[in-house]
Each structure stands twice: as C-alpha cells, then as structure tokens.
Amino acid sequence: MSSLKSSIYPDGDPLAVVTAPPPDESPLERDERLSSEKAAQKRSDAIDEEIARQRIAEKKAPKVVKVLLLGQSESGKSTTLKNFQLINSPKAFRQERASWRAVVQLNVARSIRIILDIMTQAHAQQTQRQHPVASSSMSSFESLQRPDVVYPTLTAEHLKLKMRLKPLLQVEEALLRRLSPGNTVEFEATQLTVPTSLPYPDRNYKEPSVNSAVHWKGAFGRLLTPNEQRASFDSEQGIDFDDPKDPGLVLHNCREDMVHLWNDPTVKELLKVHKLRLEDLSGFFLDSLDRVTALKYVPSDDDILRARIKTLGVSEHRFRLKAGNMVSHDWRVFDVGGARSLRAAWAPYFDDMDAIIFLAPLSCFDQVLAEDSSVNRLEDSMSLWKSIVSNQLLKSTDLILFLNKCDILKAKLESGIRFGTWVISYGDRANTFEGAANYMKKKFAGSFKTNSPEPRPFYCHFTSVTDVKSTTHILENVKDTVVRKNLQDSNMV
C-alpha cells in the first residue's frame, strides 16, 4: 500500500501536491503567491485571536442563560418570542415592521381565500341540487357533498362579490414568493376544526410556512441612502410605500368588498354550517380591515404579535437582559418547530437549558392535530408535557408552563361550546373559563408531580401571549425566576 502511495505522491503527502507551487512559476508570480499566502495567514491568525478573546470574555462574563420554547404547532411559541423581542430589543423589533406588514397582508388574503373556498363548495352544492347529474359524471369535488348538510343559498350578488375578490388569490401567491424568494415556502395542512363535526371532513387548508434559516424578514425592507429616500419611504419602519409591487394596493382597492363579505349574514351562516370560527384562528384581521388595508398602513406592536407565519426548523435569538436589580445576562432563546415531524429536533437542545417554557393552548380543546385527525390537540399537549417532565436529561431543568390562548378559550365557552363535550372527564361542571382553566391546571400539575424524576417547583401561568401588558408582567417574573436559579447554581447567591 505504501509503495502505491509513493508512486502517486512522490513525497508521500497528498497535500504537498495541492499546495506545491506551479512548476513553471515566474519570480513575479511567486512573489504574488507568497504575498497572498501571508495575507491569508494573517486573516486566519486574526480570526483565531478573536475566537480566543471571545472565549476568555465568556468565561469572565455571567453564564449565558438558555431558554427553550416548546409546544405543539400554533401553541404561541413564536408570539412569546416576539414578546421577548418587544420587551428587550424594541429597536430591532421596529426595524422588522415592513416584513410583518407583509405577513398581516398574507393573513388577510388567506382568511378571505378560506371564505371563498367555502363559497365555492356551497355554490357547487347549490348547482348540483338545481341541475342533478349522474354520479358517474360528478367531479371529485362535487362528490364530497353530503345531502344532510345544506348550505344557505348564494345569490348572484354573492357570486359577483366572489369574482371581484379573486385578485386576492394572486396577492397571496405574490406575498409568499416575496417572503421566501428562494422558493423555500412549504405548505402544511392545518385542520381548522374537528373532522367529525365538519360537513367535509377531508377538507384541509394549506398553511404556508418558511424555513427559519432563510432571512425572510429582509424581503420587504429596503436600505436607502439619504439621496435615495423619498417622501413615500418610511425610513424608520423600512417600508417603501411607492413600491409598484406593493400588495397593499390590491388590498386597499378590495377593502369595501372584503368588509361586505365578512359582514354578510349569508357568509356568517356558511361559516357556522362549516363550524369554522375564523376569529379564533391565529392571524385574524378581518375585524380591522379598514385599518390594515390603508395605503400607508404600518403594523402596530399588537398587529405583529397577532400576525401568523409558520416557521420550520430552529431559530435562535440573543438578548441582553437585566432581571430586577441583578446583573445583566446574555440570553439565548430557542424556538423549535412544534409539528410532529419536527419534534425529533428538540432532543439536542435538552442537555444545557436553564429553563423550558412549555406552551399548551387551552383553546384547542375542540380541535385535532393536522398531522393526525384522531388526536385531540389538548390531549396531545398533555402527552407532550408528560414526555418533557419525565425526560431524565431535564430532571434539573426549570419547566415553566404557559396555559395559553385563555382569551380564545373564554370566547369559545361564552359562545356556547361546551368544554365537557370534548374533555369527557370534565363532566357536567360549570362551562366557565375559571372552571375549565383551573381544571386543566390541576391536570397538568398532577402529571408534573407524578412524572418528574426529582421534586422541583411547579411554575404555571395563564396566558394570552397576544396581550402585551399581561405577558410583559409574566415574562418579567420568568426572567427573575430563571436568573435567580442561574445565580444559585453558580454559587453567586
């Protein structure tokens, strides 16, 4: 073997062949090569020195606090992360408004598309009843119709309205292309309601998602020099209102029709028949159309918190935080995708976390997983909580439970949806927010006590993370708790 290597590489070193100078190198070329190698070595040495300095600084500085956000898809992880940003990096938060404006516009277009899809189903049923056709010639779409479900009749005006709103479908596609210019937009089916209560149980709505590794937030911002700035460009918010491709122009022109559609009694009845409450979904803005479709609309902090764009993969955000009167700490907050296919990515982050914020949305008691329509979402949260609590790698990690989306839970119960219908063990207890929320808190606490490998405190908060004021107070308490524990572990208190 050695003789073979010697025959191929005379010096016995394959790298020598790669690094050797060209055999016909001139003196000038040699000087240029040596100068280039010297500059490259200087850059390499500078990088090594900077890495060494950072290591020394990290050793002297307070320990980095690492927090992991966990929970199923649409549990509120990204909204919690946005709250961290708003509280601790408000300037950076403001600089992203241009991209969040696009997400709000996407949310509006998607909500309208869902309604238009349901109108299409209703019209197909209406046409089928008026002009019966042989079952063999029915389209696959028409074959989904069930005779026991009768939609309200759509008028000619409804159909004209539907046609006038069709440009919003192109707006949705354009926004998706711009949010993810590298064709990295992916779609995941999101089952909006319980299949057994739907007239069309196989009907899924595709939710767009972007990869967290792609810098999609820069897609709508423009960095202009002072000479390039125009009166229509909001330099603080990063929004170019003169952009001819601005989807806001189409949304603005369709505003009256969208308002008419959302307030139409027949459309309300269609949604009721479909057992679909759009107002309970993330990214709902149809009650604010006059404001969010204005030509120079800039999203408020509340709008950004409510905006919904599904991210895939793991995103890391760094903050410099100060908890109470204690020393400032560098925080790293990790947001990991909650879809079933992404949960395998959680494990590598378990070993050195200071705290895990686990979000369990209580409002989803009457919904099922998009990935498995046989699994109730609240039941899935309980199962996930148990697996996190019992994990040996996390036996010394603080677990902080956010029983989230309490505002939506309260609205659902007040609308007449019975908690006990879906959570059988709740029985015939009072159908109130206080009763249902406290019942679930006891269930999660019981699982925590039973499955935790070691005794540890149970931290639980009722949250509506789109509510800035209350969430700010809760996150301040979380910061104090985590930093105090961090200092205790470091023998500094």
State pLDDT tens for residues 288-333. Answer: 999 999 988 999 989 998 898 887 777 888 887 665 555 557 888 8
Burial 243-259 (b: 16+ CB within 10 A, else e): eeebbbebbbebbebbe
* 307 in a labelled binding site: yes
Write down all domains in the chain, each with its CATH number in brackets. Answer: 66-94+313-489 (3.40.50.300), 102-218+244-298 (no CATH)
Cα–Cα distance, 19 to 168 (Å, whole number): 59
Percent of the chain with pLDDT over 70: 72
The percentage of the chain sitting over the pLDDT mark of 90, rounded to a whole number, equals 31
Determine whether the annotation assigns residue 305 to a binding site. yes
Band the pLDDT of 33: cuts 50, 70, 90.
confident
- Cβ partners under 8 Å of residue 411, min gap 6: 279, 280
Q: Give pLDDT, residue 238.
A: 60
**In the structure encoding, which two tokens stand for residue 366, read together?**
């009457």
Is position 310 annotated in a ligand binding site? yes
User: Does 418 carry a binding-site annotation?
Assistant: no
**Among candidate residues 281, 115, 140, 282, the one with its CA nearest the CA of residue 202:** 140
Helix (H, G, I), strand (E, B) or coil at 322: strand
* Ranges assigned E (strand) in 236-380: 239-240, 310-312, 314-322, 328-336, 355-361
Q: Which two tokens stand for residue 416?
A: 């007449």
Asked whether residue 341 carries a pLDDT value surpassing 50, the answer given is yes
Confidence of residue 130 (pLDDT cuts 50, 70, 90): confident
* pLDDT range class, residue 361, cuts 50, 70, 90: very high
User: Sorting pLDDT into bands at 50, 70 and 90, what band is 194?
Assistant: very low
How confident is the model over 212-264, as pLDDT tens digits?
655 556 555 543 333 334 444 444 456 667 777 788 889 999 999 999 999 99
Is the pLDDT at 95 greater than 90? The verdict is no
Does residue 406 have a known ligand-binding role? yes
pLDDT score of 162 more than 80: yes
The confidence band for 134, taking pLDDT boundaries of 50, 70 and 90, is very low
Is 413 labelled a binding residue? no
pLDDT of 371-416, one tens digit each? 788 889 999 999 999 999 998 888 888 899 999 999 999 999 998 9
pLDDT confidence bin for 195, thresholds 50/70/90: very low
Contacts of 490 (CB under 8 A, 6+ apart): 62, 63
Confidence at 469, pLDDT banded by 50, 70, 90: confident
Considering Cα of 308, then 312, then 318, then 324, what sign does the dihedral take?
positive
Angle 112-118-122 (CA atoms, 0-180°, nearest 5)?
A: 140
The C-alpha atoms of residue 74 and residue 360 are separated, in whole angstroms, by 10
Which one is predicted more confidently, 263 or 472?
A: 263
- pLDDT of the residue at 200: 36
On the question of pLDDT at 208 being above 80, the answer is: no
168 is in an annotated binding site: no
By the 8 A CB rule, do 323 and 329 touch?
yes
Q: Is the model more confident about 430 or about 2? A: 430
Q: How far apart are CA 179 and CA 212, in angstroms?
A: 12
Per-residue confidence at 203, pLDDT binned at 50, 70, 90? Answer: very low
Residue 162 annotated as binding site:
no
**30 in a known ligand binding site:** no
